[in-house]
Amino acid sequence: MNKHLHYLEIALFSTSNRLPCEVFLSFLQVIVIKMKLLVVLLASFIVSITAEIAVEEGVLVLTTDNFDSAISDNENILVEFYAPWCGHCKALAPEYSKAALQLAEEGSGIKLAKVDATVESSLGEKFEVRGYPTLKFFRNGKAGDYGGGRTADEIVAWLKKKTGPPAVSLASQEDLDALMTDDVTVVGFFKDQESEGAKAFLEVASAKDDVKFGITSEQAVFDAKDVKSDSVVVFKSFDDKRADLSESLSVESITEFISANQLPLLIEFSQDNAPKVFGGEVKSHFLLFMSKKSDAFESAAEETRKVAIKHKGKMLFVFINTEVEDNLRILEFFGLKAEDTPTYRIINLGEDMSKFKPETNEVTEKVVGGFVSSFMDGTLKAFLMSEEVPADWDAKPVKVLVGKNFDEVARNKDKNVLVEFYAPWCGHCKQLAPIWDELGEKFADSKDVVIAKMDSTANELEDVKIQSFPTIKFFPAGSDEIVDYDGDRTLEAFEKFLNSGGQICKISCPFTRILMARLSKYQAIVNSVLEVTWLLLEWLPHHHKLIVILCE
């Protein structure tokens, strides 16, 4: 036994010995330090056991325990945050695995990993995962969004582009032909690759991940593609086949030029091209809802393209095939059903997500062109969806709100109104439903409190924008204020919030939940060590000073 500990043992338990206070505290401090060291060692031992990384079909399986080490140990790693029940995640899985195995066979240092965000919820919160699958690319530990496609080839191409040179050097016509295997290829033709235009081109190439870039100074390649001067050329397999930019070769102009020409005039929406459609620089979208099997489809598509060519780079024209089951959610978002088509809408993908509805469903260049022009010049009024007011909207304790009766109920100056904005398909909303009904029962007889709900997939408000489900907002009596409820979704928390007039809200802290989840694994060990310390503190006269020592 250490002589200091032996001496302390005698001092503590022998009635014939009286140890000076300062000496006693010194010895006890030694014990505390050793116990703290023991906790650290034991925790480290547990981490070392649990931090081994499993591999499934070439993909690393990450958890809260091994995530940080995986990120720090791999210079380039793509991480998929998924949910086991997610259909899109299941569809991605074989392609994701195929990409991982392909990179491994090539001897690449790029790794692919996955995190079950329904289990490792702290990681999902940390990286702000809002839907599944969410892919994040980590380079030297720094996270960025993934902007590629969902096939193995697209994943591999995106990763190689992200980790390699921004543009492939083209020494011959054969090199160019080998590069042009996709629907879109962007090539910079520059006599001097140190020129300002070439530097701007390479900067754009480095920033854009969704197309292949090449660069050449070879006269033979210039001649083969009939390029006379420094230019950026977008080669494509659709519409007019190519587009050239030879003036004002700046980062801004090149970026705008590529964005305006890399997609078809009328692009058919799919899950594969969703990142290109919704993640691009153009935020104003015209959506044509129609069955591709319709006899009128080709005519409607051609009329729409005539309008689209006049607004290249300013508005994206998208075709939504109503025969595709996955697209029904988009129709629902616009308050449409398949029988309402063919029709079209405009949406502005800004913060307000404003929607615009035409007066007629006629798909001709003149009618569609006028509709788009009205939007562009700012004279078109946004359309707000609303269901009809149900006959029994107030028959139950939880009042049913729609766009048409919302202001009358929620903005009643004599009432404190708590509203749940939900989506019928939302799992969290379904979990909340029985609690919300019980809350309604609790306040059913209240003269100044109203519990209500509104289906935000079918009803919209001009000044209340809902970005996630469920969203809960409080409309206090006698005020125009709208209070966001950020507390726990429990009956007790809701009652406290309402009984305090909306002034007290127990905020559920993500950091605390993450910390407690991590500590719970070692809590038994920590408790067993600290139990001895707190036992001493209970009866020692200088326990306050000891607490300071322990904290230090």
Catalytic residue among 429, 505, 509, 551: 429
SS (H, E, C) 13-71: HCCCCCCCHHHHHHHHHHHHHHHHHHHHHHHHHHHHHHCCCEEECCEEEECCCCHHHHH
Catalytic residue among 21, 426, 505, 551: 426
Residue 429 bears catalytic tag: yes
Angle at the Cα of 113 from the Cα atoms of 110 and 118, rounded to 5 degrees: 160
Q: What is the DSSP letter of 424?
A: T
Q: How far is CA 210 from the centre of its chain?
A: 18
193 close to 215: Cβ distance less than 8 angstroms: yes
For 265, the 3-state DSSP assignment is coil
Cα distances (Å, whole numbers) of residue 174 to 169, 171, 186, 225:
12, 8, 16, 12
For residue 420, list its beta bridge partners: 453, 472
For 174, the 3-state DSSP assignment is helix
| Cis peptide upstream of residue 424 (ω within 30 degrees of 0) | no
Separation CA 549–CA 543 (nearest Å): 10
For 429, the 3-state DSSP assignment is helix
**Residue reference for tokens 């006899």:** 295
Separation CA 314–CA 348 (nearest Å): 11
Separation CA 511–CA 301 (nearest Å): 51
410 close to 401: Cβ distance less than 8 angstroms: yes
Catalytic residue among 86, 505, 509, 551: 86
Q: What is the DSSP letter of 326?
A: G
24 close to 11: Cβ distance less than 8 angstroms: yes
Catalytic residue among 89, 505, 509, 551: 89
Residue 89 bears catalytic tag: yes
Residue 551 bears catalytic tag: no
Active-site amino acid positions: 86, 89, 426, 429
